[in-house]
Amino acid sequence: MTIRRDPPAPPAAPPGNRGRLGLHMTAAAAEGKLALQRCEDCGTAQYPPREVCGQCLSPQLVWKNHKHVAGELLGRTRIHHSNEEYFKRFLPLEVGLVHLEVGPTAVCFLREGCVPGQQVMVSAQLDASGQAVLVATPSAVRTIGRSAALSTSQAAKEKKHAA
């Protein structure tokens, strides 16, 4: 006699086994903030969280909270397969590398409309397991490159004047 078994239900939350250094990011994300470490000796921002500065190896790292952090989307990819059961129902997933204005580059989930080479805003949000994840959303306020500090309309005027 063959026993038929129903396939297991997908997990209700993503894997929750993340390091203890990420707990500060999670606590900040619960308050709607993005927490990043900064070295008190050399000023380098750190991501992912670490025990010592990746630049000068100083252990003098302090946490700085941000509402969000601007950055440039360097590249994106669409993930069509996952070994984690939880993520299979969300496939395909859009993720990308964002070079944050404060220094480090981070892997982020991407909201619709994020285009490589353009400005995005990165924030920390809680996933279904209650852990912090980074999410990038398009930013229409600023452009990347030589005109980074100019608004879109100012950049258009500058381009027209140069022609």
Write the pLDDT tens digit of every residue in 81-112: 988 888 888 899 999 999 999 999 999 999 99
Distance CA 94, CA 97 (A): 11
pLDDT of residue 21: 84
Q: Is 11 domain-assigned?
A: no
pLDDT of residue 83: 86
Q: Is 43 domain-assigned?
A: yes
DSSP structural state of residue 59: S
Q: Is 95 domain-assigned?
A: yes
pLDDT of residue 70: 96
pLDDT of residue 14: 66
Q: Is 129 domain-assigned?
A: yes
pLDDT top residue among 84 and 121: 121
Q: Which of 62-66, 82-86, 146-150, 157-161 has the lowest mean pLDDT?
A: 146-150
Q: Is 109 domain-assigned?
A: yes
User: For the chain, what is the domain count?
Assistant: 1
Q: Which of 11-20, 72-81, 98-107, 128-137 has the lowest mean pLDDT?
A: 11-20
Determine the 3-state secondary structure of 73 from DSSP.
Answer: strand
Name the residue among 115, 84, 79 with its Cα closest to residue 94.
79
Distance CA 118, CA 120 (A): 6
In this structure, which long-range contacts are made by residues 12-19, counting pairs with CB atoms below 8 Å and at least 24 apart in sequence?
12/86, 12/128, 13/86, 13/127, 13/128, 13/129, 13/130, 14/84, 14/86, 14/87, 14/127, 14/128, 14/129, 14/131, 15/84, 15/86, 15/129, 16/129, 16/130, 16/131, 18/131, 19/49
Residues 131 and 30 sit within 8 Å (Cβ to Cβ): no
Q: Which of 15-24, 96-105, 128-137 has the lowest mean pLDDT?
A: 15-24
Q: Is 7 domain-assigned?
A: no
Q: Is 147 domain-assigned?
A: yes
pLDDT top residue among 151 and 125: 125
Q: Is 142 domain-assigned?
A: yes
Tell me the two tokens of residue 130: 């209650």
- What percentage of the chain carries pLDDT values higher than 70? 75
pLDDT top residue among 142 and 115: 115
If you average pLDDT over residues 13-30, what whole number do you get?
A: 81
Dump pLDDT digits (tens) for 57-70: 999 999 999 999 99
Q: What domain range is 72 assigned to?
A: 20-162
Give the HSE-up count for residue 116: Cα atoms under 13 Å, Cβ half-sphere: 8
